Structure 1
């Protein structure tokens, strides 16, 4: 396995296959043909005397040796790439680039329309939005499988940078002809109604329930569901109330018979943060994209 017998360009191919989990996607990211990527992988397999990646369904899954090698190799590769990038400016108008962005469904609806509108002048740029479990976010950022993630404030290590993008207040939604929409919503009316709670968890309170608990009151949760769009559809057809972030509520209210009301108490705001890994923060293409995300927030 002498280094002088290994083409260092193959390390970039290896890293890209690992990040993309697919020879087709790796070829697209590298601007190569799939046969060229397959040939590079064959050379790597010969060099290491290991399969490195095995196909499982439509994914190329790294072998234990490949995982160990990546852990050792990536810091050096990132440092080399960073040194090279300092001397090459990024031109979004002419260069091809695929950005991977971790977004939950509610944030897709508020971020993606404005982002794609802003990127209309850059036809060579491609955006891949994906839902990532919060427990996996830092791992995905460190592995380069995600360029950025947008989410609420989360506990992260000192290897992950983050910046506040915006604060979103909570509002209450009810169907247009709901009896509680006839006047300003007070606490008595809020507590007399039944509620929808949107959460990926099967139990436990929502952020608004912590504030209600501090006030010594508790609301009646009739339905727990996973997606705000489904919850809004339920609200439109029933007497249930939904407490949710205002930015997405405004989008829904434009297309549904739903009224937006102020909550009967000062509820905590939702702080939305942008996350990225420090190892990649000096790459010109990522610096540029980070500024675009901040501009639309």
Structure 2
């Protein structure tokens, strides 16, 4: 295919199909029907002289030629987009809407202070928070329906950008008049007192070591280090009493205030909930793995001035984990 006869829209279709491996999802991203995407691919195949994608039971699989073309065409499209986009962004005058995916922990400790900054610096900017626990999180980012996702991710696909926001330890929450509140916690306490944990998916949803893998993105399904707890207690011949599992961290205070249960949560969440009254935050009597919270976004937004501005605000809104 000569450059003179090249329709740039065909390259956008190729990029979408290459990333989604599905004609329907690619069409949704481009606001095209499935038949229009199929027709565009057919024209591109004729021009390139290669089938580009093979149909399989698991979707479309790129050929060797498509794999060779993908990074070259992406770089070219990114260059064209950068050249044509405006290079300025005025937060104070903007009326944009951003969509962030976050769980209730992140909403409490990061998004709340972020909103305070937005009210001062960009009163016309709107923010929508979607649950990061949805199974199609990676797909929603691919389709452009989520601008930024914040959470703990064990694996991040190469098509996403990422930046670390916080690295924090875990802490224990209990009511202020808990029987163990006036002394140092021991391992035996975690066998004696039932635990409330936060879990948004177990092995039945495909979770492995506390993470669920979907479309190349491994997102956290449990907000505590289960293995570290079990191994620590096993060394002294005990087992933890994992009594209640809830999908939302903000349900923990109501559960703890009504009895002698305890909960293991990230330290920033422990401090935030204890600060609301009635609860105490205490250090663990064993070593657990640190939780790394990152923000991720699609690389097509790397150079977008508005998205870059938002990422900077999110980083500044993160609490001190010291």
- Report if TM-score (shorter chain) is over 0.5: yes
Match in the other structure for 2:103 = 104
Q: What's the secondary structure of 2:201's corresponding residue?
A: coil
Contact 1:164 1:272 survives alignment (8 Å): yes
Matched position secondary structure for 2:136 = helix
Does the 8 Å CA contact 2:141/2:297 hold for their aligned counterparts?
yes
C-alpha distance in 1 between matches for 2:184 and 2:100: 39
- Tell me, which stretches of 5 or more residues in structure 2 are unaligned? 1-8, 17-26, 45-73, 211-221
Cα distance change on mapping 1:283 and 1:246 into 2, 3 Å: same
- 2:287 is aligned with 1:266: yes
Verify the 8 A CA contact 1:100 1:127 in the aligned structure 2: yes
Q: How much has 1:162 moved relative to structure 2?
A: 0.9
**TM-score, scaled relative to structure 2:** 0.67
What is the Cα deviation at residue 228 of structure 1? 1.4
Aligned position for 2:147 = 147
Aligned residue for 2:126, secondary structure, equals strand
SS for the counterpart of 1:164 is: strand
- In 2, Cα distance between the equivalents of 1:71 and 1:199? 42
* Structure 1 contact 93–124 (Cα < 8 Å) conserved: yes
Asked if the contact 1:209/1:218 (under 8 Å) is kept, the reply is no
Count of residues in correspondence between the two structures: 243
Spell out the pairing of 1:1-297 with structure 2 (5 A cutoff). 63-65=33-35, 80-85=80-85, 87-120=86-119, 121-133=121-133, 135-201=135-201, 206=222, 207-215=224-232, 216=234, 217-297=238-318
**Aligned-partner Cα distance in 1 for 2:128–2:282:** 34
Task: State the 1:223 CA deviation.
Answer: 1.1
Aligned partner of residue 292 in structure 2, secondary structure = strand
Name the SS for the 1:139 alignment partner. helix
2:190·2:241 contact (CA, 8 Å) conserved in 1? Answer: no
User: Would you tell me which structure has more helix in proportion to its own residues?
Assistant: 1
Contiguous gaps of at least 5 residues in structure 1: 1-7, 16-51, 54-60
Q: CA RMSD in A?
A: 3.2
Deviation at 1:174, TM superposition (A): 1.0
- Looking at structure 1, the residues matched to 279 and 38 of structure 2 have their Cα atoms a distance apart, in angstroms, of 53
Cα distance in structure 2, aligned partners of 1:156 and 1:170 = 23
Match of 1:33 in 2: none
